[in-house]
Structure 1
Amino acid sequence: MERHFGEAKAKAVFSDAALSGSTMSRPGLTALLEAAENRDIDLIVAEGLDRISRSLSDIASIYELLQHYGVKVWTAHEGEVSDLHVGFKGTMNALYLRDMKDKVRRAHRAIATAGRATSSVAYGYRAVRGVVDERGKYVNGLREVDPNQAVIVRRIFEEFTSGIPVRQIVQSLNDEGVPSPGGGLWRTAAISGEASRFRGILYNDLYRGLLVYNRTHRVMDPRTGRKKYVVNPIGDWVKVPVPELRIVSDGLWSKAQKIIGERRRNRSVSNKASVRRHKVPVKGAQNVRPLTGLVKCGWCGGIKNLANSTRYVCVTHRFEKKCKNSRGWREDRLASVFLAELSNFIASVDDWNAMFSGGIERELRERRELEKEAAALELRIARLLDAIEHGVKVDYNRLTELQERRDYILALPPVPKAGVSTTTIKRHLVRAVDVIGYEWGNRKYAASIRMLLHLITDKIVCTPIKDKRTGEHVEIMFKPPAQWLQFYMRVHADWPYVGKTSSGEVIKRPAPARSVLRNTYLAVPGD
């Protein structure tokens, strides 16, 4: 570096130790791109292009962004990086990554065929260290039964096949202080696991003396970078008998799998009936509730989620039985209290204008830059579409990415004008609360309402009332008013009608049955 650039000192060092170069979801890379966007750097130095990314599409995207920001790239292997390097070396790096994956899979298959494990140590076993082969190399993947943990595994299978619910098994293990596979408290997922991925003690074939490899493989969505597991065809599975690792008998194993299969079939029939009856399945109902993730237990600090789609109860009590708080709040009652406190909080702030002024100026500056970016994206998209019309082969994934980025910028909520009076801001916030209450049970707005409430709410703590058998105190903690700007901006974009007729007349109508404000009216003031 000194030979090419003199004694220039690095302004910052970005690294992503032990993270795959095939993904964009890396904190170091994200920080580097932010520094480039902010014009904090003008040159990036790396050992090679593969240190920045091994993905062909990602390295092209990164290089294009850096070119836009006026940042050059120099590597020890390629020198100053050009379009040719990105195309050629990016392809070679992607091929190297694919070849390396194939080699790792072949090596793992050979290890599994030899009866050795290719994954972490399962509960009930311990790793065997210090064994060497005829060439003097250490042999990895050897396992032996852990006698103490094996007793717990057999106990789980015996209690499960005798009809004891998994939740009760978990509670008894926690009450006795038995460490879980992770060393903490037992959870139902550790035992019943995930059937689609064969995870959980009840699904582990190793306990019956059978090592199974290549059941699933991991794939990554190139658009989001998210990874998921896909089940391989049964013909691709590698099954190797390892009788020395057996913990449960074939009879006990078969009985457990029969019970699991029957419950799965019954659950499937029940879900189908539920879909026919309710049109939508009730599973995961809490995921569309506005307060999900905000309600906390005042005793253990854990999350409170909806049970049976009606009451917020402590998750730690429900699944681990380590919290004694069995009390809960009906969703409609808690929502009414929350909305009332929200209105009171809005009214209690004396100067909303001062709270928002600095944020509005910052948003306006950032929005001007984004509008320039959107205009540039529009030109690039137009050029790509023109190339397609003329028969030129283009990267359709890249075109989609550009369109998604443009659409994201254009969909951002408008920035309010600076200098808006506190009275006007309060009126708009109160109007938003009215609409939230009116649309509370409407699934069309469920995700939007939930996002908005998370922007302004820190947490809702429900603590049992002392010396009483029922009831909980509710403490609602909102975020500081200065952090409400995004909420203020988004309510206009999410509900453009906000309850007025075309002539500006105020709408006053009773809330429908789905509203939690059953005995109130939606009174929307005019501008």
Structure 2
Amino acid sequence: MSKEYNIGIYIRLSMADEDTGYGSKAESDSIGNQRMLINRFLDNHLELSHCQRSEFADDGYTGTNFHRPQFTQMMEKVKRGEINLICVKDFSRFSRDYIETGNYLECTFPFMGVRFISINDGYDSDDYKGTTGGLEVVMRSIIYAAYSKDLSVKTTSAKIQMMKQGKYVGGYAPYGYVLHPTIRNKLAVDPEAADVIRRIFREALEGSNTSQIARSLNDDGIPTPGQYFKSKHPDKKKFSNMSEKISWETVMVYNILKNLVYTGTLVSRKMKSCGVGSKKRVVNEPIIVEGTHEAIISKEDFELAQKVIRGGGRNPTRKQHDYPLKGLVRCGNCKRAMTRRKNKAGIRYFQCIHSVNNGNTDCPVGRSFPEMDIEKVVFHALTQFLALAQKEAIQNREVGDLRKSAIKECADKIRTLQKQNEQHKASKLRLYEKYAAGSITKEAYIQQKAAADVKIAENDGAIQRSHERMKELDSETACSDEKLDAVCEQYADCKALTYELTHAFISAVYIYDLDNIEIVWKFKDFLTTSEGEAK
């Protein structure tokens, strides 16, 4: 009887392979044609034609890593046993990372009992049971990985060339513009948002500073760029977590007033990657092309508006200092980062300035929270956290030692009982030899044999119970958190609050008031009474 399969059809199309009419890839690489090819293959195989199918399609995701939503969803179903066969068009659709592909084919899928079929590569894992896919599979994967890197370089080069030609290569248009409906890689003015851009520049030219402009936009209920995008594209993930409350900030106004795109100029490639596959980006000499699209603001008005920007720009030579609470302190109301400032006396303090231009806010606008006071609260909470974590670590080690000791006792008992059973079986054999030789009567033989069988049965029961106990002990989740234990050991002797200490343990510090400070930990919260809250 053939095995019943639940089939996962996996389809992928990267941005470099797009086939929406502008790409150069063959039609067979489109989502629709991958689907048709796979379903036709399954329909033509009697063993698979009747099986239940689920489709997972990642449209616009690279194959060089596995950070893909539909792939992740498919693997979750594999882990739950809901899918036991995965079918793809070819290895490159599954992944272009030959090392990870090999790991899935040789370790993950065999362990989970999942059959894997790559149609165009003629690969079926059922043909390689007990072995790997061989050199052919490895070579194909290496070629796909090399092709992916080469494609990445060529795609980047093509985009740079397009930037130099004044073509827009971004995925979304900047605020004030939309992607041109008929001309690809060109921006067109969005009338509704463009009116807001003109208003901001007009108010700047009338002498208003960025704070005053932000306040007037909030008073008139003008949606922020993020909220405007969200209203126009509700199906997109970008800005999906943004608050519904309108709150223009000075930095938003500043960025608009500094953006040359509103003069019809494209500024591209201000940052560049350090290499194929690298996530690190460094500052790059930008590509600037004028007159690429319709301007919203004249160059003359743009230059005049720069005068309202405090200091004419930011100081690129200013040194960055890492202080203990850097990047952690947030407003308890709006959840956004608080600003660190210094008064004339040299005392550092934190303020929520995000809602300073919004008259309808619950944020503590204008209130100052001394850095020293917050640091005292945080350091006190950290010392408590460390003490409790270390105490639990000791308890966990003791529990772990007891568990190991119990497992060893079970193993020792099993070995002893197995040795006894061997002795009882040898005794039975000697009894039979005596009976066969006529040294003992049949009644004596039967009686002594029955006694030996009872002891063997008792030992077998005890062995079974010991095995079950060992299995139970093995299945228990480890009490200790190795990562937490390592961090606690590293900072056990800290006498003062440091940047490294706070960022090792804390995700955020929310300020509601000086007597109401919430600390969000990176690990299990050991502080009782008020979970994660130090008062």
TM-score (normalizing by structure 2)? 0.52
- Spell out the pairing of 1:194-213 with structure 2 (5 A cutoff): 200-205=256-261, 207-210=262-265, 212=266
What is the DSSP-based 3-state SS (H/G/I as helix, E as strand, rest coil) of the residue aligned with 1:74? strand
C-alpha displacement of 1:450 = 2.0
Q: 2:371 aligns with which of 331, 352, 355?
A: 331
C-alpha displacement of 1:23 = 3.2
- Spell out the pairing of 1:251-270 with structure 2 (5 A cutoff): 251-256=300-305, 263-264=312-313, 267-268=315-316
C-alpha displacement of 1:179 = 1.8
Residue pair 1:108, 1:118 contacting (<8 A) in 2 also: no
With over 3 angstroms needed to count, the CA separation of the structure-2 counterparts of 1:345 and 1:91, relative to structure 1, is closer
Q: Deviations over 1:412-443 (max 9, x none)?
A: 65969xxxxxxxxxxx98x999844x2314xx
With over 3 angstroms needed to count, the CA separation of the structure-2 counterparts of 1:84 and 1:343, relative to structure 1, is same
Residue pair 2:510, 2:519 contacting (<8 A) in 1 also: yes
Residue pair 1:313, 1:328 contacting (<8 A) in 2 also: yes
C-alpha displacement of 1:247 = 2.5
With over 3 angstroms needed to count, the CA separation of the structure-2 counterparts of 1:481 and 1:143, relative to structure 1, is closer
Q: Percent of counterpart pairs with the same letter?
A: 19
Name the CA distance, whole Å, in 2 between partners of 1:92 and 1:19: 16
Q: Counterpart of 1:330 in structure 2: which amino acid?
A: P
Residue pair 1:298, 1:461 contacting (<8 A) in 2 also: yes
What is the aligned partner in structure 2 of residue 521 from structure 1? none
What is the aligned partner in structure 1 of residue 27 from structure 2? none
With over 3 angstroms needed to count, the CA separation of the structure-2 counterparts of 1:220 and 1:32, relative to structure 1, is farther
With over 3 angstroms needed to count, the CA separation of the structure-2 counterparts of 1:328 and 1:8, relative to structure 1, is farther
What is the aligned partner in structure 2 of residue 440 from structure 1? 497
Are residue 453 (structure 1) and residue 506 (structure 2) matched? yes
Name the CA distance, whole Å, in 2 between partners of 1:171 and 1:360: 60
What is the DSSP-based 3-state SS (H/G/I as helix, E as strand, rest coil) of the residue aligned with 1:248? coil
With over 3 angstroms needed to count, the CA separation of the structure-2 counterparts of 1:16 and 1:301, relative to structure 1, is same
- Spell out the pairing of 1:33-48 with structure 2 (5 A cutoff): 44-48=86-90
Residue pair 1:115, 1:241 contacting (<8 A) in 2 also: yes
Q: 2:62 aligns with which of 6, 20, 24?
A: 20
Name the CA distance, whole Å, in 2 between partners of 1:341 and 1:53: 46
Residue pair 2:263, 2:296 contacting (<8 A) in 1 also: yes
Q: 1:316 aligns with which of 334, 354, 374?
A: 354
Name the CA distance, whole Å, in 1 between partners of 2:300 and 2:164: 25
What is the aligned partner in structure 1 of residue 130 from structure 2? none
Name the CA distance, whole Å, in 2 between partners of 1:167 and 1:356: 54
C-alpha displacement of 1:208 = 2.3
C-alpha displacement of 1:153 = 2.2
Name the CA distance, whole Å, in 1 between partners of 2:396 and 2:136: 48
Q: Deviations over 1:375-400 (max 9, x none)?
A: xxxxxxxxxxxxxxxxxxxxxxxxxx
What is the aligned partner in structure 2 of residue 390 from structure 1? none
C-alpha displacement of 1:339 = 4.0
What is the aligned partner in structure 2 of residue 289 from structure 1? 324
What is the aligned partner in structure 2 of residue 500 from structure 1? none
Name the CA distance, whole Å, in 2 between partners of 1:233 and 1:348: 52
C-alpha displacement of 1:48 = 1.6
What is the aligned partner in structure 2 of residue 67 from structure 1? 106
Residue pair 1:36, 1:42 contacting (<8 A) in 2 also: yes
What is the DSSP-based 3-state SS (H/G/I as helix, E as strand, rest coil) of the residue aligned with 1:317? coil
Q: Counterpart of 1:208 in structure 2: which amino acid?
A: T
Q: Counterpart of 1:462 in structure 2: which amino acid?
A: Y
What is the DSSP-based 3-state SS (H/G/I as helix, E as strand, rest coil) of the residue aligned with 1:185? coil
Name the CA distance, whole Å, in 2 between partners of 1:250 and 1:338: 50
With over 3 angstroms needed to count, the CA separation of the structure-2 counterparts of 1:447 and 1:433, relative to structure 1, is closer
Q: Counterpart of 1:263 in structure 2: which amino acid?
A: G
C-alpha displacement of 1:174 = 1.7
Q: Counterpart of 1:453 in structure 2: which amino acid?
A: I
Q: Deviations over 1:14-69 (max 9, x none)?
A: 66444222334335556777899999988654222112223xxx232341465244
What is the aligned partner in structure 2 of residue 167 from structure 1? 211
Residue pair 2:339, 2:353 contacting (<8 A) in 1 also: yes
- Which stretch of structure 1 is more off in the superposition, 31-40 or 248-257? 31-40
What is the aligned partner in structure 2 of residue 226 from structure 1? 279
- Spell out the pairing of 1:429-508 with structure 2 (5 A cutoff): 435-436=493-494, 438-441=495-498, 446-454=499-507, 460-463=510-513, 472-476=514-518, 484=526
Q: Counterpart of 2:139 in structure 1: which amino acid?
A: G
Residue pair 1:109, 1:238 contacting (<8 A) in 2 also: no
Q: Deviations over 1:74-107 (max 9, x none)?
A: 3112114544334335424643674487469758
Q: Deviations over 1:208-243 (max 9, x none)?
A: 234x375457537666x5364753564xx554454x
Give the paired residue count.
370
Name the CA distance, whole Å, in 1 between partners of 2:337 and 2:308: 31
Q: Counterpart of 2:338 in structure 1: which amino acid?
A: K
- Spell out the pairing of 1:385-464 with structure 2 (5 A cutoff): 435-436=493-494, 438-441=495-498, 446-454=499-507, 460-463=510-513
With over 3 angstroms needed to count, the CA separation of the structure-2 counterparts of 1:331 and 1:61, relative to structure 1, is same
Are residue 121 (structure 1) and residue 160 (structure 2) matched? no
What is the DSSP-based 3-state SS (H/G/I as helix, E as strand, rest coil) of the residue aligned with 2:273? strand
Residue pair 1:187, 1:319 contacting (<8 A) in 2 also: yes
With over 3 angstroms needed to count, the CA separation of the structure-2 counterparts of 1:14 and 1:360, relative to structure 1, is farther
C-alpha displacement of 1:203 = 1.9
Residue pair 2:208, 2:308 contacting (<8 A) in 1 also: no
Name the CA distance, whole Å, in 1 between partners of 2:524 and 2:286: 54
Q: 2:91 aligns with which of 39, 49, 56?
A: 49
With over 3 angstroms needed to count, the CA separation of the structure-2 counterparts of 1:448 and 1:53, relative to structure 1, is farther
TM-score (normalizing by structure 1)? 0.53
With over 3 angstroms needed to count, the CA separation of the structure-2 counterparts of 1:447 and 1:62, relative to structure 1, is farther
C-alpha displacement of 1:298 = 4.0
With over 3 angstroms needed to count, the CA separation of the structure-2 counterparts of 1:303 and 1:98, relative to structure 1, is same
Q: 1:190 aligns with which of 252, 259, 263?
A: 252
Name the CA distance, whole Å, in 2 between partners of 1:43 and 1:146: 48
What is the aligned partner in structure 2 of residue 153 from structure 1? 197
With over 3 angstroms needed to count, the CA separation of the structure-2 counterparts of 1:49 and 1:359, relative to structure 1, is farther
Task: Calculate the aligned-residue CA RMSD, in Å.
Answer: 5.3
Residue pair 1:192, 1:202 contacting (<8 A) in 2 also: yes
Structure 1: gaps of 5 or more residues: 130-137, 194-199, 272-280, 365-411, 417-427, 464-471, 486-527
Name the CA distance, whole Å, in 2 between partners of 1:162 and 1:330: 37
With over 3 angstroms needed to count, the CA separation of the structure-2 counterparts of 1:52 and 1:40, relative to structure 1, is same
Name the CA distance, whole Å, in 2 between partners of 1:359 and 1:110: 64
Residue pair 1:36, 1:66 contacting (<8 A) in 2 also: no
Q: Counterpart of 1:88 in structure 2: which amino acid?
A: R
Name the CA distance, whole Å, in 1 between partners of 2:385 and 2:271: 50
Name the CA distance, whole Å, in 1 between partners of 2:340 and 2:492: 24
Residue pair 1:21, 1:50 contacting (<8 A) in 2 also: yes
Q: Counterpart of 1:326 in structure 2: which amino acid?
A: G
